[in-house]
Amino acid sequence: MIWIFLGAPGAGKGTQADRLADHLGIAHVSTGDLLRKAVKNGTDLGRKAQAYMDRGDLVPDDLILGMVREALTGPAKDGCILDGYPRNTAQAASLDGMLADLGREITGIINLKVGEDTLVARIAGRAQAEDRADDTEETVRNRLKVYEEQTRPLVDYYRGRGGLQEIDGEGTIDEIQARIRGIVGAVAGGAA
């Protein structure tokens, strides 16, 4: 079982993925967490990624794919929710190839749809709660613009392949989780 969660920054992917992963007893694979863990543990991929991060560069897609592969053949071998990966259609195509090599496939894709004002408000609230100075309204709106340009095309990519489920990501955490579990249960042929 491999689920992919899509949505703009602030859509609640991480929160919802954590809850669903706990409920299903599968791993929540966040590429940000994978990067931090690989760097902290000094793995080969972590050292390579750290060199890019130290220069302020983006970590190349092949290194991220390697970390995802390690997760899917290790802690997430029994199933997972991918959160934060893929981020663009090139990464999605690479993921498809890797999954084919592993004899695995994507179970479903959930896109959390949330209005821009709600996204900005959520991130502003998170910034205040976590004392994050980098989450100003201006930087949030810029991240949303980057999302629309680079990541949003994934929705069309997966819609064209089938299996994409769009879910209203507004409401309480429990309301959104209930919508997600309804979709997961329908795909799995029973209650999630």
Active site residues: 13, 87, 126, 132, 143
Nearby residues of 23 by Cβ (< 8 Å), 6 or more positions away: 181, 192
* Cα–Cα distance measured from residue 84 to residue 143, given in angstroms and rounded to the nearest whole number: 14
Q: Shortest CA distance to 46 belongs to which of 55, 36, 56?
A: 36
Query: What is the identity of the amino acid at 92?
Result: A
Q: How far apart are the first and last CA of the chain?
A: 13
| Helix or strand run (H / E) with residue 143 | helix 137-146
